[in-house]
Amino acid sequence: MLEIHDVSKTFFPGTVNERRALRGIDLRLAEGDFVTVIGSNGAGKSTILNTIAGKLTPDSGTVSVGGRDVTRMPDHRRASWIGRVFQDPTAGTAPSLSIEENMALAWRRGHTRGLSRGVTASRRAVFREELTKLELGLEDRLTSKVGLLSGGQRQALSLLMATFSGPKILLLDEHTAALDPSRAELVTRLTRQVVAERSLTTLMVTHNMSQALEVGDRLIMMHDGQVILELDAAQKARMTPADLLAEFGKIKGAVVDDKTMLS
């Protein structure tokens, strides 16, 4: 489904600020694969997600989706088949618009034909049904402004909006890192649920070692623009967070973010 072949990216090449963000990355995800991504600071995790989303064009290598080379396709043309949730709960939603207006905007991304801008009664029923799945009571607050929601509620809504219009690929960029532990747990549970329900091909960047091991069916560790460790489901099941941290310890000079948690 998603194939990244020998992708490299250098920022500011040939200057004192040169940063080799990706060095020959190879990664293959079959449909429905859920891969967690961990790595030291500046390892290239966000850069790889930006390359898949089309925000960045690699210097070399290819990105293919469903066998089609999309390496140079601009991000707006990928928007209908890529869902993305960022660390900042305010990034995925518009605070001055209501929940249903936000959902209508997200819906339009995946359904460009024959639909008006407004919120029709039938679409409102769909939104209500989708919100009910979150079990946060948001289905009764369709006309509330999103700016009034808590960070956890907003992130749950962002996740729903990123996925309900039927993307093929879901990119999660530390999407639970800004939430308190109980909200992070809730959004993690919703993530598992939505990925399984929709068989989404998913890459999830996290600094939380426990989360990286518990969620998804494969794990990759990045450092200095390369994948330095890859674990399949069975290998992942045998690892503890302490084992993963020990792997980081083997990397000379690696700085693991202070957000990194063992449990």
- Residues of this chain that bind ligand ATP (CB under 6 A): 11, 19, 21, 39, 41-47, 257
Residue (of 107, 217, 109, 89) closest to 158 by Cα position: 89
Question: Closest separation between CB of residue 225 and ligand ATP, Å?
Answer: 7
Question: Which of residues 52 and 138 has its CB atom nearest to ligand ATP in the complex?
Answer: 52
DSSP 50-101: HHHHTSS--SEEEEEETTEE-TT--HHHHGGGEEEE-SSTTSSS-TTSBHHH
Q: 41 vs 71, which CB is nearer to ligand ATP?
A: 41
Q: Could you give the dihedral angle defined by the CA atoms of residues 54, 56, 60 and 66, in that order, rounded to the nearest 10 degrees?
A: -10
Q: Which two tokens stand for residue 34?
A: 């859920």
Q: How far is the CB of 61 from ligand ATP (least distance, A)?
A: 15
| Cβ nearer to ligand ATP, comparing 39 with 83 | 39
Shortest gap between Cβ of 40 and ligand ATP (angstroms)? Answer: 7
Compute the chain's Rg from CA coordinates: 19
CA–CA separation, 149 and 98 (whole Å): 10
User: Residue 242: exposed, middle, or buried by beta-carbon count in 10 A (0-12, 13-18, 19+)?
Assistant: exposed
| Contact present, 28 and 3 (Cβ < 8 Å) | yes
> In terms of CB distance, is 47 or 102 closer to ligand ATP?
47
Pick between residue 44 and residue 216 the one whose CB is nearest to ligand ATP: 44
Cβ-based nearer residue to ligand ATP, 87 or 98: 87
Least CB distance to ligand ATP at residue 39 (A): 5
Least Cβ distance, residue 178 to ligand ATP (angstroms)? 13
- Least distance between ligand ATP and beta carbon 52 (Å): 12
Cα four-point dihedral sign 212, 216, 217, 222: negative
